[in-house]
Structures are given as C-alpha cells and as structure tokens.
Structure 1
Amino acid sequence: MKYNFLGSSGLQVSELGFGAGTLGGKGPLFSAWGQADQAEANQMIQQCLDAGINYFDTADVYSDGESERMLGKALINQRQQVIISTKVGIRSNEQINHVGYSRDYLIHAVEQSLKRLNTDYIDVLQLHQFDSFTPLEQLMSSLDQLVKSGKVRYIGASNFAGWQLMKAQAIADRYGYEKFSAHQIYYSLIGRDYEWELLPLNHDQKIGTVVWSPLGWGRLTGKFDRNHPLPEHSRLHETAQFAPPVNEEYLYQVLDVLQDISLATGYSIPQISLNWLLQRPTVSTVLIGARNSQQLSANLEANQFKLNEDQIQRLDTVSAIYPPYPYYPYWNGQFSERYHALVKSNFLA
C-alpha cells in the first residue's frame, strides 16, 4: 500500500481508503448502497487493515448513524493505528436546528458522532455540504475551537464549490484559525468536473483530495455496456435519482475503452477505473466501498499495477469533456500543459 500526505496536515493516508456507507443498510438510499451487518463489517474492515488501509470514512447520516456505530465497534482495538473521518451537516431528523453548522448544532453533531464511534476524538471532521445560512467567520471559529478542544484533529469540507472553499480558507488565514486539510469530492472517469476549478485550488492551497464514488455511482462496475442492459438487481435502479447525470453515449464510449484495456491487461473495469484515479494530481486517497468481502477483495487489487502512458492517454482522451467559461482558456493554454505535466510526474499535493 502506498501512502500520501493528506494535504498539508502531515498525516499520511493510504491511497485506498474504506468508505463505510455500505454498513448498516437503513433507509431507502443507504439500504441500496449495502446492508452489511456487524459481522460482515468486521470482516471487511479486517481485510482493509490487512491490506494496509488506514483511512476509514463515514458520516452521521449514513444509515441513521448505524454506519458510525458499526465502524467504531470494528475498529475499537485498532483506534490508535487508524484515521477515522466522519461528516456532519446534512439534516438527519426533524428538529428545526439539527442541520447546517450553527455553533450549537455543530458541537452537538460532533458529540453525537463521538458517542457512536466510541472514541474521544475524530481524526478528520468534514463538513458534508455547504451551509449558506451560517456565516463562515462563525463556522471557522467553531471548527478552530473543536480542534483546540482535542475532540477533532483536522478539518475538511465535502462537495464545496471553489469560491466557498477558498473563502473559508481565507477567513481561517486572516484570523489564524485551523484551515481545511481535506476536500472530499466526486471524481471519476465519467465525472471529471473536479478538474476545472477544484483541482488547481486544492493544489494551490495544499488541500488533499478524498475521492467518493470513484466508479461513477456504479456505472463503471463492468456489469453493463452498450450491448448489455443494466441488470435488474443493480442499485442504480433505486439510486439513479441521486446520482450525477451522465450522457449515455459518453458513458458507453468510456466503457468501450475500458473494455479494450481490460482485455489487454487482465484487470477488471473497476480496477482500471480506480487505478486511473490513483495517478491523478492532488488525490490523497480514493474511497472504495463494497457490499461484501468479495467485492472488497477485487477493489483492493486496484493498486497492484500501473497503467502505461498509452492506456492513460486513451482514457484521458475518451473521458475528456470541454469545460465551460471561464475555465476553457486555461484548459487549452498554459495550465493544460502544466496540468498534464503534473499528471505525468504523478504529483501529489
């Protein structure tokens, strides 16, 4: 297992991390993700530990908190050897103030996550989405207090726009507050919007990228293509309404190239898709989820090889999308050259 620095935190995290969203199986969305019970969770997490994974990610809303509880139980004897990341901020109940990042709710949410995880500190606390109602000055002050209290070691954001993330960093810099070390984002061969604005921002601010849904919300599993329809049991039937949209022909063109590379290398489409992400600049860790130990075993092999330059170029070309204004001048000019140089050198911020 290779380890990368999580931004400027000084923490070294495994290039593959475990996404615990498949644990618990409660609710219409998360039950479709996975329904692993505690025994299955223990087995999968031990597989991860045996493979060298030290980064485990969850959220308070995953299966109504059950994911946090199960992850905490599974890691109880390994607490000092692992990095636990959890996310807060999405509404989880009907109480009017139990959402967002008011100081009152943020502290409450952290306390509840600590109880469910059965730990006295959270390694990386991430804000699950942007809150436009709580002033960023208050938010960054509250996060700084949580770090100083010892309940949180490092902070991160998830799914922020570039201006939101940069404004928060600037406020933290101005007042001497703790800055974000991580940004958890959607990034895949069929979802490369991250590269337009957030990639150069994370590179500039030394923020480590944590990738969620690296298989494009299940579209890059290799279970269907232009000649084979989506299987009846696919979770996409239940979760497509939540998934980032993808043009069908674009998806099939990417899958065509993935199939060619799979035939040439012997590695599966998911393994190739994950491997491509491991070589992208700013990426600190790619979260792999699994519904069972068999899926997990296959995903854990994604870092056992390295795509050659020709294969990477083919994947880059077929998955490329033209960015909107104002990004395209940089994409086609000097930044494009610098970006591809960073990719070639496997630079990690």
Structure 2
Amino acid sequence: MDKRFLGRTGLQVSELCLGTMTFGPGTDEPTAHHILDTFVAAGGTFIDTADTYSGGLSEEIIGSWLQHQNRDDLVIATKVYGEAGPGLPVRGAGRKHILAGVDASLRRLRTDFIDLYQIHVWDDATPLEETLATLDALVTSGKVRFIGASNLAGWQLQKAIDLSNHRGWEPYVSLQPLYNLLDRDAELDLVPVALNEGVGVIAWSPLAGGWLSGKYSKDAGGPPAGGRSSQADWDAHDNDRTWRVLDVLRTVAAEIGKTPAQVALRWVLQRPGLTAPIVGARTPEQLADNLGAVGWELDAEQMRRLTEAGDGPLPYPHNILAMPQFVRRPRGR
C-alpha cells in the first residue's frame, strides 16, 4: 500500500484509512484485532475512530491492540464532540469538553499521544477562537500531533484556517467530508478550499453506505431483507442518476476484473485533493475486498466515464462560475 502526505504536513499515511466505527457491538474484539492485523500486514498505517463510536468501545479495542504494536509506525486519528445517542447530552467543542475528551481518549487508546485529533462537527454554540486555541494548546502540550475537522461547510473550514493563520495557531491539516461517486457536494466548496489551503481530504462513506458495493439492483424494488439499507435510504437513492452510476460502475469493474467496491474506492483515491478514503470493515472478508482497491489505477477514460455518470446540473452560483465565458484558467491550474 502506497503512502501519501497528509495535506502540506510531513506526516505520511497509508492511502487507505481503516474506519473502526463498527468495532464493539458490530465487530467483536477478536475479529477487530484480526482486521487491524490484516490491515497493517497489507501496509496500512492510518486508523480512524471517535470517542462516540460504540460509546468509547472502539477506542478501547484499538487501545488493547496497540499494546502489541510499534506505536511509531501507526497514525491514530480520533474525534471529539460529545455523546451521540437518544437522550444523551451533546458536549460540543468548548475548552472544558475538549480537555476532558482528549484525556479520556488517551486512556481508552492506552497511548501517550494522538496523531490526528479532529472536531467531529461544527459547534454553533462555542466561539471558534475557544475551540482553536484549545486545540493549539494540545499540540503544544504534546498530547496531540496534528488537528483536523469533519463535517464542515466550505465557509466554516476557510474561517477556521484564516483564524488560525491570523493568530499563529496550529491549523486544521485535514478534513473528513462525505464523498463518493454518488455524494459529490464536497466538490463544490470543500475540496477547492482544501486544495487551495493544503488540507488533506479523508473521505468517509466512500461506498455510500454499501450502494457502491454492487449489491443493490433496480429490479429488486426495495432494500434487501436484513441489509443495512432502510426503506427511507432506498427511496432517497432510487433514481435515474443512482442507477446510471451503478451501471457504469459495474461495466468498468467487469472490464478490468475488479469488484464494484474496488472501482468505487479507486475513483475516490484518484480524485484531486484526496489523501485517503476511510474504509470500514465489519468482517475480514469486507476488508479483503477493500484492500483490492490499491496497487493499480483507473485510466483517464474510465475515470471520465465514472465521473460523468454522476454529473448533474450545478447549483447557483457554481453554474455561473463554470460558464466558459467566465473561466479564465482551466480548473486545477
């Protein structure tokens, strides 16, 4: 597995990031450890979790596994924001919760430092200065090496970067957005900001919750029994654009002898600004399929066909900005 620099930092990470949201009730500890061992054996170094995943159990499982690893060979990323669940309070990204949260994550992970500490979502109740100053102090203290964010709007990411630059604080070096062949809104503002500011993009749900694995069929008329997709999820995706993308995805996969999931992950890997997609695996078999996305490339024609299959009309003002009479420099230059 190749390594890539995370944004403009000197930190190298594997081109696939292992997501561990299912570790706990969905994936028991022995199976999770086996998945982690397999990922590392394939050259993986980048592991992502969060304080809320399985109520902290995901971090605990990683922490027990870490005791038998060379810590310096790995890049451990986690997130802070608050308890997620019915009736549970949301703690936010204020100083008090961040300071308590980082110590709790360090205890669960059984490590002295966190390589990448991320704010899980924008906090509309806490001054941004409070959040960023606290994160800067964590880097200075040595508890955290780098900071990042997830689930931001374009203006929120830009504001955070500008404020950190103005104050001389550690900036966000990475962003976790939803991004895949079907969910491409990040291309409008987030990816351009990341490219312009040197922020690494770590895409979550690169298989669109299983839709890009090739297991769904239009003829089925609804979600498969016992599957992850709900009726509401099916209704949201049951449209001409989705089936067009899946048709092209299956065609390209058949042409090159890969699975649809491998092609979908490879497309993300080859998109501008992308550092790594986050691949989740509840079973070793799922991980084995995901690992097949590395070591080869889609050619330019295949990338074009996949991309164009999901293209749609741009919203305002992007439709105006993309008009040929206004574009003075080709995109990406």
Which residue pairs with 2:320 in the alignment? 329
Q: Deviations over 1:145-173 (max 9, x none)?
A: 11111111100000100111111111111
Which residue pairs with 1:269 in the alignment? 260
Which residue pairs with 1:13 in the alignment? 13
* Distance in 2 (alpha carbons) for counterparts of 1:65 and 1:336: 47
Contact 2:173-2:198 at 8 Å conserved across structures? yes
**Deviation, structure 1 residue 95:** 7.1
* Distance in 2 (alpha carbons) for counterparts of 1:102 and 1:255: 42
* Residue 65 (structure 2) pairs with residue 74 (structure 1): yes
Which residue pairs with 1:2 in the alignment? 2
SS at match of 2:330: helix
CA 1:320–1:244: 2 relative to 1, 3 Å:
farther
Structure 2 counterpart of 1:8, one-letter code: R
TM-score between both structures, scaled by the size of structure 2: 0.93
Q: Percent identity?
A: 38
TM-score between both structures, scaled by the size of structure 1: 0.89
* Residue 250 (structure 2) pairs with residue 249 (structure 1): no
Query: For 2:269, which of 278, 281, 288 is the aligned residue?
Result: 278
Query: For 2:130, which of 104, 125, 138 is the aligned residue?
Result: 138
Contact 1:18-1:287 at 8 Å conserved across structures? yes
Please give the root-mean-square deviation of Cα atoms over the aligned residues, in Å: 1.9
Query: For 1:228, which of 220, 228, 231 is the aligned residue?
Result: 220
Q: How does 1:48-127 map to 2 (within 5 A)?
A: 48-78=39-69, 79-92=71-84, 99-127=91-119
**Deviation, structure 1 residue 329:** 2.8
Structure 2 counterpart of 1:337, one-letter code: P
**Deviation, structure 1 residue 265:** 1.4
Which moves more between the two structures, 136-145 or 72-81?
72-81
Structure 2 counterpart of 1:264, one-letter code: E
**Deviation, structure 1 residue 322:** 2.1
**Deviation, structure 1 residue 316:** 1.0
Q: Deviations over 1:212-267 (max 9, x none)?
A: 000011111111121235321211128x56x9944522111111111111221111
User: Where does structure 1 lack aligned partners over 5 or more consecutive residues?
Assistant: 26-34, 342-349
Which residue pairs with 1:183 in the alignment? 175
Contact 1:210-1:287 at 8 Å conserved across structures? yes
Q: How does 1:14-33 map to 2 (within 5 A)?
A: 14-25=14-25
* Distance in 2 (alpha carbons) for counterparts of 1:121 and 1:92: 24
Which moves more between the two structures, 222-231 or 153-162?
222-231
Q: Deviations over 1:307-340 (max 9, x none)?
A: 122211111111112221112233444388324x
Contact 1:91-1:100 at 8 Å conserved across structures? no
SS at match of 2:7: coil
Which residue pairs with 2:184 in the alignment? 192
* Residue 293 (structure 2) pairs with residue 302 (structure 1): yes
Q: Deviations over 1:90-140 (max 9, x none)?
A: 3347675x5111111110111111111111111000100000111111111
Structure 1 counterpart of 2:330, one-letter code: E
